[in-house]
Amino acid sequence: MHLSRYFLPVLRETPKEAEIVSHQYMLRAGMVKQASAGIYSWLPMGLRVLNKIADIVREEQNRAGAIEVLMPTIQSADLWRESGRYDDYGKEMLRIQDRQERDMLYGPTNEELITQIFRDSVKSYRDLPRNLYHIQWKFRDEIRPRFGVMRGREFLMKDAYSFDLSEEDGRKSYNRMFAAYLRTFARMGLKSIPMNAETGPIGGDLSHEFIILAETGESQVYGHQDLFDGDIPPADLDFYGDLTPVVDQWTSLYAATDEMHDAARFEAEVPADKQVSARGIEVGHIFFFGTKYSDPMGCRVQTPDGDMANIQMGSYGVGISRLAGAIIEACHDDKGIKWPVPVAPFEVGLINLKAGDEGTDTACGAVYEQFTNAGIEILYDDTNERAGGKFATMDLIGLPYQIVIGPKGLKDGQAEVTDRQTGAQESISLDTVANVIAKRVKQQRLLV
Ligand code: ATP
Ligand code: MG
């Protein structure tokens, strides 16, 4: 992509309304624009990141055996009356009436709708287990939308729902999502820790929040230091095998959010030098709630004995739009974002220091083509802006590799390469630079 033909409305000043760094950088780097409180338009740079996050989530859901569907954003209130949640949900639910004066709502979550779909289609235990997920916008009329996309009112969520015959099988489905989440966040360059959590309005008694540490996190969290070096399940994990070792490894050490924190247990179980007490961001949340929805909504199957049984269910959320902000909170410096390769909007940024000069234009054009042919996503700054501005923009938008070609290096046939993550700089010959960097990028696409 040539920057001269792109849409990248960069802001030089920090917008006053943005309190935390991810919000500031997302606005400054032209990723999002607020449409109204807690509601954002995603501009090209932001959308590329959002799509990459969604793709990783999708790949890991599919790997764990979940099946993608797409449910609507607008739901009927009657469905929520069946589960009893229409009245319980409170003001966070955006309630609407259609022209027939039927009560509708903009879905804050989808337990009811998926239960209806499943109930009307599946009648036998033979069709279990199943896990259906979708990636869809949600609306919650948060009392205090803030921190940009981190606590929006409209936000993109992946939500999966598992259906099993027995509680024991239901826990296996839960464990599959547990393992899938560890991989999902690790692939984005994040260290996520599953923590015992409250179930809130979703219900049930088994629940983990996946938390990443960041100073600006909204939750206070407590855990054992060794959790931060836990093993991420491999790509070829057998998701239908015994996953209890994975879950046990990640749940045997103390980890809890504020609401579930037990100070006495923390002191007793975690040695003083291993105690972590920090701020965290919730990026995912999984629940096992048994028959909470299947019972009132009549979602039953025939058992092998010919009896009817309520289906055992769980639900599993990932905050896809929140993750765009959360990754920035975890990966930045005072100049801008430092995208991990797997979620970077482009993998390489190329700066032409003297656009319009025949020599640099030709050299940049050749390098650009080599990267493109190698299947690398590259943003080429071919504009006439002064060098300082180009460097500042490139640092701000945080592409993993910056390649600078100017008249000086050109004389020696060299390009200057900066690794945005480490800050390491090196000169690489113009003939080989695309090859060398393409290879590094490809190695970093799959972090786990
Ligand atoms: P929180 O405690 O942050 O309000 P929640 O527990 O109400 O979130 P869940 O119902 O567990 O949220 O939703 C699943 C995931 O969706 C969360 O883990 C989070 O990543 C994301 N999410 C929830 N609310 C928002 C929001 N207002 N803006 C952006 N993402 C959100
Ligand atoms: Mg939650």
**Which of 106, 260, 322 gets mutated to test ligand 1 (max ligand atoms within 8 A of its CB)?**
322
Q: Work out the pLDDT band at 205, boundaries 50, 70, 90.
A: confident
Whether the Cβ atoms of residue 343 and residue 396 lie closer than 8 Å to each other: no
Residue 379 neighbours by CB under 8 Å, 6+ apart: 1, 3, 6, 345, 346, 348, 349, 350, 397, 399
Atom in ligand 1 nearest the alpha carbon of residue 159: 14
* CB atoms near residue 245 (< 10 Å): 11
Amino acid identity, position 289: F
Tell whether ligand 1 has an atom less than 6 A from the beta carbon of residue 155.
yes
Per-residue pLDDT reduced to its tens digit, 66-82: 999 999 999 999 999 99
Give the DSSP H/E element, type plus range, for residue 358: helix 358-373
Give the number of the ligand closest to the Cα of residue 145. 1
Instruction: Quote the pLDDT of residue 155.
Output: 98
Task: State in Å: Cα 319 to ligand 1 middle.
Answer: 6
Average pLDDT over residues 417-429: 98
Instruction: Quote the pLDDT of residue 228.
Output: 87
Per-residue pLDDT reduced to its tens digit, 307-333: 999 999 999 999 999 999 999 999 999
Q: Work out the pLDDT band at 199, boundaries 50, 70, 90.
A: confident
Q: Is the pLDDT of residue 188 over 80?
A: yes
* CB atoms near residue 6 (< 10 Å): 15
Sign, Cα dihedral of 425, 430, 436, 441: positive
Give the number of the ligand closest to the Cα of residue 151. 1
Average pLDDT over residues 110-126: 97
Looking at residue 29, what DSSP letter applies? Answer: T
Atom in ligand 1 nearest the alpha carbon of residue 319: 20
Task: State in Å: Cα 208 to ligand 1 middle.
Answer: 13
Residue 435 has which token pair? Answer: 């090859």
Give the DSSP H/E element, type plus range, for residue 58: helix 44-63
Q: Is the pLDDT of residue 202 over 90?
A: no
Tell whether ligand 1 has an atom less than 6 A from the beta carbon of residue 138.
no
Q: What is the dihedral of CA 180, 183, 184, 186, to 10 degrees?
A: 160
Looking at residue 14, what DSSP letter applies? Answer: P
User: Which of 196-205, 391-400, 416-425 is the least confident region?
Assistant: 196-205
Q: Please state, in angstroms and rounded to a whole number, the distance separating the CA atoms of residues 372 and 366.
A: 10
Mean pLDDT score across all residues of the chain = 96
Q: Work out the pLDDT band at 100, boundaries 50, 70, 90.
A: very high
Cα angle 351, 355, 357; round to 5: 130
Task: State in Å: Cα 401 to ligand 2 middle.
Answer: 35
For 9, what's the count of Cα atoms within 13 Å in the CB-facing half-sphere? 8
Instruction: Quote the pLDDT of residue 118.
Output: 97
Q: Please state, in angstroms and rounded to a whole number, the distance separating the CA atoms of residues 151 and 145.
A: 5
Task: State in Å: Cα 202 to ligand 1 middle.
Answer: 11
Average pLDDT over residues 170-194: 97
Residue 21 has which token pair? Answer: 């760094």
Instruction: Quote the pLDDT of residue 197.
Output: 84
Q: Please state, in angstroms and rounded to a whole number, the distance separating the CA atoms of residues 183 and 446.
A: 11
Instruction: Quote the pLDDT of residue 198.
Output: 78
Whether the Cβ atoms of residue 41 and residue 32 lie closer than 8 Å to each other: yes
Task: State in Å: Cα 353 to ligand 2 middle.
Answer: 47
Q: Work out the pLDDT band at 299, boundaries 50, 70, 90.
A: very high
Atom in ligand 1 nearest the alpha carbon of residue 287: 11
Give me the residues paired with residue 224 across strands. 275
pTM above 0.85, yes or no: yes
Q: Is the pLDDT of residue 204 over 80?
A: no
Average pLDDT over residues 169-189: 97
Tell whether ligand 1 has an atom less than 6 A from the beta carbon of residue 151.
yes
Whether the Cβ atoms of residue 420 and residue 401 lie closer than 8 Å to each other: yes
Residue 11 neighbours by CB under 8 Å, 6+ apart: 27, 28, 30
Instruction: Quote the pLDDT of residue 200.
Output: 73
Q: Is the pLDDT of residue 210 over 80?
A: yes
Looking at residue 387, what DSSP letter applies? Answer: H
Give the DSSP H/E element, type plus range, for residue 19: none
Give the number of the ligand closest to the Cα of residue 315. 1
Tell whether ligand 1 has an atom less than 6 A from the beta carbon of residue 322.
yes
Residue 19 has which token pair? Answer: 């309190």
Instruction: Quote the pLDDT of residue 184.
Output: 98
* CB atoms near residue 431 (< 10 Å): 12
Q: Identify which of 111, 127, 100 has the alpha carbon closest to the alpha carbon of residue 71.
A: 111
